[in-house]
Amino acid sequence: MIELSNLEKRFGDNVVLKDINVAMSEGSVTALVGPSGGGKSTLLRCINLLEIPTSGTVRIGDEALSFRPGVKVATRDIQRLRRQTGMVFQNFQLFPHCTAIGNVMEGLVTVLKWPADKARARALSLLEKVGMAHKADAWPATLSGGQQQRVAIARALAPSPRVLLCDEPTSALDPELAQEVVDVLGQLAVEGTTMVMATHDLRLASKVAREVVFLEAGVVVEKGPVDTVFRNPQHQRTKRFIATLRQEQEEAGSGI
């Protein structure tokens, strides 16, 4: 479903991702975990080409693109692969001038050229799915952070992407509001939605993910089933990171 082969990302002389080789199957949920600056968000953004890899290959379903230093990739090819994905950002990124339903409809009407009535029906069904139908006509400024993130998830799902990418979807929320988002993503996982998420939230990763990829300094240190990596990691660096993160979240009242 998703395959990253020999992926490298450089910013000038700084190598942010080094020889990443990861495969994620359809219907799976993969959590990217690791210390800040380890490359989680960059890897996520390389999957949908918000960041263009320096070298390597990105494959989503039947669409694949290869990259080489100094070789520009055509915009139409980037767009073709990007359309396979939906993106949920850390800070929601809702359009402030649109209502909740307007946010979900916007891409369908503007980009995909759907008729407004068809887009509205699709948007309303997705708001229902994330528990936000009762706030369809509310403005983002009147919604809590958890509510805004649920609307953002509905917006990302609107064009029926093959994979949902989530960049720290709960990190801007307090534990109670974060639980709303964890519950929604958990239900999507049960329904078989393919997801890749960069997160520091062990509760989110433990409840929703099937596989974990631990990144540090742009390198995949360890990967495997969530129970194995979180409860019996094979590398000392993974053990230290998981122990530290668990302690921090227990102290914050949101431990697993």
Smallest CA-to-CA distance from 206 within 242, 180, 241 is with 242
Instruction: With a cut of 90, say whether residue 243 has pLDDT above it.
Output: no
Instruction: With a cut of 90, say whether residue 203 has pLDDT above it.
Output: no
Q: What is the pLDDT of residue 219?
A: 95
Domains and CATH numbers, the chain: 1-84+196-256 (3.40.50.300)
Pairing of strands 29-33, 211-216: parallel
Instruction: With a cut of 80, say whether residue 254 has pLDDT above it.
Output: no
Instruction: With a cut of 80, say whether residue 255 has pLDDT above it.
Output: no
Q: What is the mean pLDDT of residues 124-139?
A: 97
pLDDT digits (tens, 9 = 90+) for 192-201: 999 999 998 8
For residue 78, give Cα distances in angstroms to 82, 92, 145.
Answer: 6, 23, 31
Q: What is the mean pLDDT of residues 104-113?
A: 95
pLDDT digits (tens, 9 = 90+) for 155-184: 999 999 999 999 999 988 888 888 999 999
174-195: burial string, b at 16+ Cβ within 10 Å, e else: eeebbbbbbbbbeebbeeebbb
